[in-house]
């Protein structure tokens, strides 16, 4: 049972657990009565529910500072702790929401003012700790999907332009072990979609592969498929494939290896 109409967007999993999100962004009662989609920011903490994947045992709830999370980066188990990486958004600091009247809360949430963060949930003590991993605004994270549910070292996070309209102006490569990042930004007028990681055939290391993605020019409609060396995105794309038609800007993408079909 949950205390009202919730609005979770994502979840996490480890080898043995699911992590569910109960966050302080909720549907408004008035909108629900009128069958409309409208949200507001509630005065409540962020909660995570850790659920055994075998469905045996109780859900353990953890409370932490209020925030919203659109997308999880990854999660894993480390001793008595569940470690979750994600893009933590603190509403009300990205756009002038007051200019949008009754849609203020919705616009401020959709602005995606998020930074990569880490949460640690201790299954023995019941405590949850959190800290930010960087202060760069970014969202829509991608990883090598082969390490999903296991500790990952690298992630590729879209750089969000500081505009009211959501635009990907580039992306970051994070090395969480070294605590470092590199960046690639598109040319003026170009916007990207979510990039994905494609492992190199025969790869033996997590970051041995390519970052792939689509981008389009806002003015001309020219679209490209680009390929980067996952270890050196700041050096620019290895290849740029010009597409014969415009590909509209999109949010999500993934990589599917044909060998797995």
Give the pLDDT confidence of 157-174 residue by residue, as tens digits: 999 988 777 899 999 999
Give the pLDDT band (50/70/90) at residue 200: very high
- Both tokens assigned to 31: 């909108």
Query: HEC string of 26-42?
Result: EECHHHHHCCCCCEEEC
Q: What's the pLDDT at 4?
A: 78
Report yes or no: 40 and 32 within 8 Å, Cβ to Cβ: no
Give the pLDDT band (50/70/90) at residue 6: confident
Question: Does 102 have pLDDT greater than 80?
Answer: no
Give the pLDDT band (50/70/90) at residue 94: low
Q: What's the pLDDT at 93?
A: 54
- Both tokens assigned to 192: 């990207």
Q: What is the pTM of this model?
A: 0.92
- Both tokens assigned to 203: 């790869």
In the beta sheet, which residues pair with residue 212?
196, 227
Q: Who has greater pLDDT, 104 or 80?
A: 80
Radius of gyration from C-alpha coordinates of the chain? 19
Report yes or no: 39 and 6 within 8 Å, Cβ to Cβ: no
Name which of 233, 236, 192 is nearest 215 in CA terms.
192
């Amino acid at each position: 049972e949950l205390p009202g109409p919730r609005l979770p967007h994502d979840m996490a999993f480890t080898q043995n657990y699911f992590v569910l999100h109960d966050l302080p962004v909720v549907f408004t009662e008035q909108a629900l009565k009128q069958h409309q989609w409208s949200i507001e920011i509630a005065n409540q903490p962020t909660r995570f529910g850790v659920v055994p994947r075998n469905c045996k045992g109780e859900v353990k709830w953890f409370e932490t500072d209020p925030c919203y999370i659109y997308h999880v980066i990854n999660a894993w188990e480390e001793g008595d702790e569940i470690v979750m990486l994600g893009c933590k958004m603190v509403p009300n600091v990205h756009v002038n929401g007051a200019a949008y009247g009754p849609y203020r809360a919705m616009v401020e949430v959709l602005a995606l003012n998020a930074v990569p963060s880490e949460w640690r949930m201790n299954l023995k003590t019941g405590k949850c700790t959190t800290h930010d991993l960087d202060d760069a605004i970014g969202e829509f994270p991608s990883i090598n999907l082969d390490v999903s549910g296991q500790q990952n070292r690298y992630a590729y996070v879209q750089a969000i332009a500081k505009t009211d309209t959501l635009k990907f102006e580039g992306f970051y490569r994070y090395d969480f072990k070294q605590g470092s990042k590199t960046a690639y930004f598109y040319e003026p007028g170009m916007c990207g979609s979510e990039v994905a990681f494609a492992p190199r055939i025969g790869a033996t290391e997590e970051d041995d592969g390519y970052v792939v993605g689509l981008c389009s020019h806002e003015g001309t409609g020219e679209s490209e498929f680009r390929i980067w060396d996952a270890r050196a995105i700041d050096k620019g794309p290895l290849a740029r494939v010009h597409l014969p038609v415009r590909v509209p800007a999109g949010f999500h993408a993934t990589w599917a290896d044909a060998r797995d079909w």
